[in-house]
Amino acid sequence: MADTELPQIYLVTPPDFDLETFPARLASVLDAAEVACLRLSLASRDEDHVARAADALREIAHARDVALVIERHVQLVERLGLDGVHLTDGARLVRKVRKDLGQDAIIGTFCGTTRHEGMNAAEAGADYVAFGPVGATALGDGSRAEAELFQWWTEMIEVPVVAEGALTADLVAQLTPITDFFAFGDEEIWRSDDPAAALRALVKAMG
């Protein structure tokens, strides 16, 4: 990534939200900063619930030219008119999903802290690779995606890279020169009383 370009913003929904109130909160956040992509990341496995959420968010996102991808539910992408899918298991399914959804679909995948997994995903046809968690979090096994990983990736690999997981303003400032996207979600903005203000503060940290 060129030094003159700031990373783009990639928003991740909370794992659960109220369909009565969340769309308005989302709209205010999307209007607060330029967002490239939104990931519907629900914990629910109930396809009907997920589909209703996707329908509500798709209109808000697409009205603002924001791509909407869904986590895991590959089979819902075409049915719901979504832009693509975010996989959570590295390179394993990238090739098959690309074949199923075609070249125009956005296919990204989370590769934890593993350079090798990221390279395999890139070779398999992923549009982006996400590494994390970047910050300290109680989730997972305690391992973190360090700045060195993003530095190496940006120098060696052309596929865009996403930094996600427990991001702080300090980490955003540190990683701005060496990542293509920041994924901001529940920890970073949605738990705040004013998620739009929380997002603006993180954007400000990019410089």
CB neighbours of residue 26 within 10 Å? 24
Domain that holds residue 187: 8-201
3 pLDDT exceeds 70? no
9 to 54, 128, 138, 145: CA distances (angstroms): 20, 13, 24, 18
Domain annotation covers residue 3: no
Confidence of residue 4 (pLDDT cuts 50, 70, 90): low
Assess if residue 148 is contained within a domain: yes
Domain count, the chain: 1
Is 21 part of any domain? yes
Torsion of CA 95, 101, 107, 113, to 10 degrees: -40
Does 14 fall in a domain?
Answer: yes
Tell me how far CA of residue 194 lies from CA of 4, 25, 131, 149, in angstroms.
Answer: 29, 9, 27, 32
CATH number of the domain that residue 14 is part of: 3.20.20.70
Residue 207 lies in a domain: no
Q: What percent of the chain has pLDDT over 70?
A: 98
pLDDT band at 138 (very low <50, low <70, confident <90, very high): confident
Any domain includes 51: yes
What does the pLDDT average to over 47-71?
97
Structure confidence by residue, pLDDT tens digits, 80-125: 999 999 999 999 999 999 999 999 999 999 999 999 999 999 999 9
- Above 50 in pLDDT, residue 2? no
| Nearest residue to 98 (alpha-carbon basis) of 65, 68, 122 | 122
pLDDT above 90: residue 137: no
Averaged pLDDT score across all residues of the chain: 96
